[in-house]
Structure 1
Amino acid sequence: MKLIAARACPARAKAGFLSIFLLLGGCALPLPDKPVRPQPYDLGPALALAADAAPSGPALALGRVEAPAAIDGSHIVYRLMYTDAGQQPRPYAQARWTMAPPQLLSQRLREAFSATRPVVEPGAGLAPIELRTEIDEFAQIFSSPGASEGVVRLRVTVTAPASRTQRLLGQRTFTVRQPAPTADAAGGVAALRAASDEAVRQIVAWVNGLTVSN
C-alpha cells in the first residue's frame, strides 16, 4: 500500500504543476480587442441655410419626411454602380448616421423654413399650406472604385389642407448630386451633406414661390 501511495504522489505533483503552468500561461495570453464602435455622422450645422430677414410668409405645416425601409435607418448606404449588383444598397460597417435620414432631413427642412415663415405640426389647422416630403434616394453612388457622389432625390408635395377639399398646390421631384472628396464613408457623408443642403435650398425657394389663395 505504501508503495502504491508513493507512486501516486509524483503523479499528483506533476498534475498540480501542469495546472499551475496552464493557469499562468493563460494569464499571459492577449486579451481580445474591444469592439470598434461605428463612427457617428450627421448633416452638420445648418447656419448657411438661415435667412437674414425675419419670417414673413404664411405658416407652413411640416410633417415627418417619409422613406422606404432601406433608407429609414442609421446605416450609411452606398451603391457600386460599376458592378452587376450596382442596384443593391450596401451599408458601411463602421459608420452610422446619428439619426435616420428622414429625421435628419426633417430637421434640416424645419430649420430652413423657420427662417422664412412660422412652421407648425400638420393636422392642427393652423397653416394654409402643408408640405409632405418622401426620400427616393439618399446614398453614395460609386461609378468606379475611386469615384463616387452623394445623391439625394426628394419628392415634395404641397397642399392647401384648410380648403373645403384638400387642394394640390404643387408636386416636384428634386435630384441633387455632389461629388465625394474621398471614396469612403467620410467622403460619402460630405457629399450627402452638400447635396442635402442644396436640395433644401431648392425646396424652400420653390415653396416660397408658390401662390397660395384662400
Structure 2
Amino acid sequence: MKNNFYTPLVLLFMLTGCAINNVPPADIYTLSPKWNDTKVRTESKKNCPLILKMAPVRATQALIGNDIFYTDAQYVQNSYAYSRWNNAPVKLLPILFQVSIEESHLFEAIIPPTSISKSDLVLESTLLELNHHIKNNGSSEGVIRIRFYLINNATRKIIATKEFVSKVPAATKNAKGAVEALNKAATDIAHNLVIWLAKFDKF
C-alpha cells in the first residue's frame, strides 16, 4: 500500500522537475544606443548659463516594469514571454536623454532626478507608449511616444510642452527586432528633444 501511495507522488515531482528544466532562460535587453551616433551627440551652438534637472519619467503601470510589449493588428497587447528589459524603460530613457542634452552643451549642467542641487529648469516627461507594433501585412515597427514639459523651477510655470513620436521599422517580428527598432526610436527622440530645447531664445 505504501509503495502504491508514493509512486504517483514521485512521478509528479519528476514531471514538475522536467517542466522547470525545459523553460528557456530569458533574454535580457537594454535601451543603450551607440553613444558615438551623431543623433546622440547633437551639439548646439547655443549655451545657456542655466542648470536643467531631469524629473523622473511618468508612465502607466505596464511601462514601469521590465516586460517588452508587442501589439498585433487587432490591438491585442502581450509581452514577449522569454525576453525582458534589464531595467524598466522609465529608468533607462532618462539616462539617454540626459547624456544627449549634456553632449549638446546647451546648458551649464544637467542634473539627474536624485540630485539635491538647485536647478533653474526642470524637464518632466510622460512615457505614453513603448511598443512593438505588428501589422497585418507582415511588417512591424518599434514605436515610442513621449511628452515633455519644460518648467521654470522658480515660478513653477510650464514654459513649453512637446510630444514626440518615433516609429522605426523592425527587421524581425520578435523581441530582438523590437529592441533594435526601439533603440533607434529612442535615439531619434533624444535627437529631436535637443533640437526642440535649442529653439528657445530665452527661458
Tell me the TM-score normalized by structure 1.
0.76
The higher radius of gyration belongs to 1
1:120–1:126 Cα contact (<8 Å) kept: no
* Higher RCO (C-alpha 8 Å, min separation 6): 2
d(CA) in 2 for partners of 1:145, 1:185: 18
d(CA) in 1 for partners of 2:184, 2:112: 27
d(CA) in 2 for partners of 1:136, 1:45: 20
Instruction: Identify, as 1 or 2, the structure richer in strand.
Output: 2
Counterpart in the other structure of 1:50? 41
Residues 1:174 and 2:174 are matched in the alignment: no
2:128–2:146 Cα contact (<8 Å) kept: yes
Amino acid at match of 2:145: R
Q: What percentage of aligned pairs have identical amino acids? A: 23
Amino acid at match of 1:114: E
Counterpart in the other structure of 2:131? 139
What secondary structure, in the 3-state scheme, does the structure 2 residue paired with 1:202 have?
Answer: helix
Q: Pick from 92, 97, 109: which aligns with 1:104?
A: 92
1:46–1:111 Cα contact (<8 Å) kept: no
Amino acid at match of 1:210: F
Alignment map for 1:178-193 (pairs within 5 Å): 178-193=168-183
Q: CA deviation at 1:112?
A: 1.0
Q: CA deviation at 1:44?
A: 2.4
Structure 2's unaligned 5+ residue stretches are: 1-6
Counterpart in the other structure of 2:196? 206
Counterpart in the other structure of 1:119? 110
In the comparison of the two structures, how many residue pairs are matched?
Answer: 184
Please, what is the CA RMSD of the aligned residues?
2.8
1:176–1:195 Cα contact (<8 Å) kept: yes
Q: Which runs of 4+ in 1 moved over 3 A?
A: 51-57, 121-125
Q: CA deviation at 1:52?
A: 6.3
1:212–1:172: structure 2 CA closer, same or farther, 3 Å change rule? Answer: same
Tell me the TM-score normalized by structure 2.
0.80
Q: Pick from 148, 152, 156: which aligns with 1:160?
A: 152
1:137-193 residue CA offsets vs partner (Å, 9 max, x unmatched): 10001112621100100010001112xx32221001101100001111111111111
Counterpart in the other structure of 2:3? none
1:96–1:110: structure 2 CA closer, same or farther, 3 Å change rule? Answer: same
Q: CA deviation at 1:61?
A: 0.8
What secondary structure, in the 3-state scheme, does the structure 2 residue paired with 1:66 have?
Answer: strand
1:169–1:210 Cα contact (<8 Å) kept: no
